[in-house]
Amino acid sequence: MKTIARQLSTQSYQVVLYNRALHPELFDLRDRKVTTHGRYELESWLMPGNHVLRFGLGEFCLSELVIDRENNLPATGVVSAFPCAGERDFEQKFAAEKVNYLSTVQTETLSENLYLTTHREMVEHIRENGSQSIGWDTEAGPNLSILDVQAMASEVHIQAYHLVAHGGFVLRTQTIFEHK
């Protein structure tokens, strides 16, 4: 039954952008990291197959939630939500705060051999880059979630990878928070 639930959930992956902070008790939080650079702060959370990015600039706050379910999600403060299917680009400008949010999403379904090769390559990527990551095993095989953060003076880039063994599902997102 768990296998069927995971299979259905890979089809319901979505990005939800909030104009507020989210609360960690709502999620199966496994790893947390805070990056402060100049005037902004980025807090990144990893959960099995999911992540939250909280960008703060003074009193202004945005949170990106990438999650594999559609129900029981916070409804307050939703700016936008869209499915993670195929390839997609999204941009949201916050003119008053001089902040720009950009997101690119790509999904793939790989054969078992390609999935395992990709998993091995991503494990090596973690070793080389010291990426924030969590791994877990299921009956279908090894799973992995990764966050890479590159902090710059007026923007922060985050690459996220979620590898779900059941069905060979790979989700890659690239998020940029820019400020002036």
Return per-residue pLDDT of the chain as tens, 180 residues. Answer: 344 344 435 568 999 999 999 999 889 999 999 999 999 999 999 999 999 999 999 999 999 999 998 888 999 999 999 999 889 999 999 999 999 999 999 999 999 999 999 999 999 999 999 999 999 999 999 999 999 999 999 999 999 999 999 999 999 999 999 999
Q: Domain count of the chain?
A: 1
CB-based burial label for 133 (10 Å; 0-12, 13-18, 19+): buried
* Cα–Cα separations (whole angstroms), residue 31 to 25, 48, 78, 135: 13, 10, 24, 11
Strands 99-109 and 132-138: unpaired
Cα dihedral across residues 109, 74, 159, 3: positive or negative: negative
Total-model pTM: 0.92
Distance CA 114, CA 120 (A): 10
3-state SS of 113-159 is HHHHHHHHHHHHHHHHHCCEEEEEEECCEEEEEEEEEEECCCEEEEE
Whole domain around residue 24: which residue ranges? 2-179
